[in-house]
Amino acid sequence: MTKALLDEIVKKVGSGDVIPYLGPGALFDVTNDTTGEPIPAGSDSLILAMNKGRPMAPKLMYEFSRAAMNLELKRGRRFIEQFLTQLYQQQQWSRAALHDWIRDCAPPYVIDINRDLQLQQGFADKPHYLVRGIARIGGTNNRFIIHHHDGTGYQPIDPEALTSDLPILFKPLGSPEPQPTYIASDADFVDYLTELMGGFGVPPFLKSYRRGKQYLFLGMRFTRDTERMVMSDITFGANESTGWALIKEPTDKERRYCKKKAIEIMELGVADFLEAAGIPVSVHSVV
């Protein structure tokens, strides 16, 4: 990545021409304020945290959604919701350097597939819109809920009220606040992805707004089919050149997929990107 290209991408993130798309690696430097342990964000770390540090059977360790489905069948859907809420809302975590950059950059639209609160906390004193994915509900085909934040708190709004007058935070897989909602188990993803592919997972305004945009994938890997399907549908209508993905050590599978999707791989980690952009990072990572 040349300095000129980096500066151009950063500039376009601020203008909204390039949309940040945050994966688990966006939280690479986040630790628990009490224990110092890294925040569980990726599939393996989430499974271990959910199962009290114990690995599950190999077929369940393949992906968090599969492991969550197994425990949901045994202990109920409420167990998964309680686990994620306790993890991300009731524990104290250090701030992610990337999220501080997002807050300061204030892009008009951010996509974050993590289920934590870092992104929302960065905008807690700024008016914004919050769009989150929902699954397995009756009475509507829509698989999203929208809230408006006036700088002090959230209030639900109808899809027609969503506009570009405020920053839009899109968390497809949910978060604990203002009330918990998550896409986590296989059953959640089957329902969510079905409606997402049918056009009911993205508000009408965003369907128009996203046309021709490019994306900067930060901390996002392309090795898991579920995350790739979510990404593909959420970014539908992108520019012919979809954008850039920061992957320090891409696999052959990732290279083939990104080439197919017109995503240019930059062999940098999130920490490398932040440092190149002049943003202090206290912890280094290979993500």
Mean pLDDT for the chain overall:
94
Segment 213-217 mean pLDDT: 98
Q: Which pLDDT score, from 0 to 100, does residue 66 have?
A: 97
**Region 4-24: what's the mean pLDDT?**
94
- C-alpha pair distances (Å), 2 with each of 88, 112, 272: 36, 26, 13
pLDDT at 278: 77
pTM (two decimals)? 0.95
The predicted pLDDT at position 5 comes to: 86
Measured between alpha carbons, how far is 142 from 265 in angstroms, rounded to an integer? 33
Question: pLDDT tier at 111 (50, 70, 90 boundaries)?
Answer: very high
Q: What pLDDT sits at residue 1?
A: 62
Report the alpha-carbon distance of residue 220 to residue 44 in Å, rounded: 15
Instruction: Give the pLDDT confidence score for residue 284 in this predicted structure.
Output: 37
Q: Is the pLDDT of residue 286 over 50?
A: no
Which amino acid is present at 60?
A: L
Q: Which pLDDT band holds residue 285 (cuts at 50, 70, 90)? A: very low
* Nearest-angstrom CA–CA distance, 250 and 246: 9
DSSP 283: S
* pLDDT for 256: 97
**pLDDT per residue as tens digits for the range 123-147:** 999 999 999 999 999 989 999 999 9
Residue 211 has pLDDT above 80, yes or no: yes
Checking phi first, is residue 173 left (phi over 0); if not, alpha (psi -120 to 50) or beta? Answer: alpha
**Mean pLDDT value across residues 105-133:** 97
With helix as H, strand as E and coil as C, how does 202-255 read?
A: CCHHHHHHCCCCEEEEECCCCCCHHHHHHHHHHCCCCCCCCEEEECCCCCHHHH
Calculate what percentage of the chain has a pLDDT beyond 70. Answer: 97
Per-residue pLDDT, averaged over 205-219, amounts to: 97
Helix, strand, coil fractions of the chain, as percent rounded to 5: 40, 15, 45
Is residue 219 over pLDDT 90?
yes
Work out the average pLDDT over 47-57: 97
Please determine, for residue 48, whether its predicted confidence score (pLDDT) is greater than 80.
yes
Distances in Å between the Cα of 149 and the Cα atoms of 47, 82, 123, 159, 169 are: 32, 24, 9, 14, 11
pLDDT of res. 282: 58
The answer, yes or no, to whether residue 236 has pLDDT greater than 80, is yes
- Strands of the 18-22 sheet, one edge to the other: 154-157, 144-149, 128-133, 168-171, 109-112, 18-22, 214-218, 243-246, 263-266
Cβ-based neighbours of 93, under 8 Å, separated by 6 or more: 30, 31, 32, 33, 39, 116, 118
Distance CA 131, CA 162 (A): 9
For the chain, how many residues are written?
A: 287
Token code pair at residue 254: 């990732």
- Better pLDDT: 139 or 148: 148
